[in-house]
A and B are shown apart, each in its own frame.
Chain A
Amino acid sequence: MSHQHGAQSEDCKELFGRLSEYLDGELSPEACREIEEHLCDCPPCIEFINSFRRTIDLCRRFEPSGAPAPVSPEAKQQLLAVLRRALDSRESPHR
């Protein structure tokens, strides 16, 4: 697919709107093929898609600064008691 890049082409805009679906593997094989044909001939879109992938990669590896205060032993005991009650009440009809 050959096109001019004097301005953003319709193909570029189409790709821009569907990039997440493409990268997430949520497009049909036909739609993927069209996008990949466009990419073969469009360095600006390749540059964009690389930066977009990098963004997603950073989001996936993102860990905000600071850890939470640990759950105190008392709070853990309370949570464990709550869990036991929840599981007991689930099991009681079968006893």
Chain B
Amino acid sequence: MAIDRFPIDVAASVIADISSGIYRSPAGALKELISNAFDADASTVHISTNGPDFDTFTCTDDGSGLTAERFKEIMRLIGGSAKRDKGEFSPIFKRPLIGRIGIGILSIGQICRTFEIFSSAKGSPKKFRARIDLDPYMRPEARRIQLQARLQKDAKVKIGHFEIEEAEEEPDKHYTRVVMEKIIPGFQQQLRSQPMLGLGVTPKTFKKGAMADFLASVSRDTVSEHGAYAQLIWELAVTTPIRYMDGGPVRNAVKLKDLRTRMEDYQFRVYLDGVELYKPILLPQGTSVIHKVYANLNLDKQLSDSRALRIRGYLYWQNTRILPRELEGILVRVRNVGIGGFDSTYLGYPKHEGWKFSQLCGELYVDDGLDEAINIDRASFRETDEAYLSLQEFLYQRLGRETDQGAGIFTSIKSKADAIAKRRKTREAVERGKRSSEVIYGRPRQVKTEAATEPSPAGVRVSTNTIQIDEELLKQVPGRYRDLFVSVCAVVEKSLSSEVAVAKRRQLFEKLARLFSAQ
């Protein structure tokens, strides 16, 4: 019997689609430009969104820059360069390189279809301007071009074209500037949209000043209810390798000092519309909050394929809900860059832990071993990768079984929460008792105690508002028992004064004083 064979083909536009749609959100795309700047040893990155219109974006870094030749190389074969061929660290600040396969430039296609790049490399007397147009390759006719037909001629697929011009530049200048125009309408609309009614935060007053003000605004519930711009700030601030807010991530947590200084040592600053971004993590949230830091979530493990998995992290728990809700969960940072956001499922933790999930957050800095597991969007992981599975197992173990104290973190949280609940119950019971006795007997009268310098016949005198006790008697009683001694004396004097002789009462009080002094 004859078997018919047919080729399976895809349109070349699939590659263009992939190229323009790999990043989940505009922040994800801007994050890539920031990562490129970080790798290029930039000290500052300035991003402008031209809000409240949001129709032109710019991003400028003072990193090592590119020459026209290098840019052409990159653009002629996106994804064909290996950034880490010359080493794992940046030459000046010794930052661990984030980029790996050289597709960061494509991130701009997520925001707009045409853009200009200006760059000058350190030491070069030239700068270049390149205009990149991805538009023709996003049109419907591009879908009819068969990928296989292209691949038979050449192993590359065209996803856009660019024009490049050079001009003179001072050799000591080095930078890369991207100007993105004709921002994708949906994205613009999203940013311009009013947030939920009633919050009083409009796109024009989105920032509420510096990062601390922003955090105070969004910490009432969620970031998302403050609109897309607030979300953009949040995502950039959370995921990029910038410094923590003063005192962050956890105030006075000496054991987390290394994470704070690690970010400071990189000397990397990002500004969005003129405002400097910091990691918006500043815990505990409020002075009356009871909290605990699990500071040693560290792992150094050799994987079967000779990769080493190195993790440094922490978890933080507090007895109230963590806000904004976007901060609940665990954030995995690969080479200091957040992959996605805080994951409130704890990498799919298999058991239901109810309220504990909402009181817990943390970060895992993975310095080695997890690169291969990151999906192309750099916002999620390939969940079957060995390193990812090891990370997952490590986290589950820490949460469920082992901790610094030998019990699972969830168990530790449970006992801590139980202790707090028990203390609260006791306090409430005492309060309730006090309130009941007040209802039955009325409010206790305020009685003054006085040490009498002039001795009285019985040694104790009780009137409506005063208890007078001879100084000689009072001196014998240690301070901590004085209140009790005074109370006992007052009761005895009040109840026996009409039945027992003065001398006998005095003997009794002296005996009592001796008893208390012997304690």
Whether both chains belong to one complex is answered with no
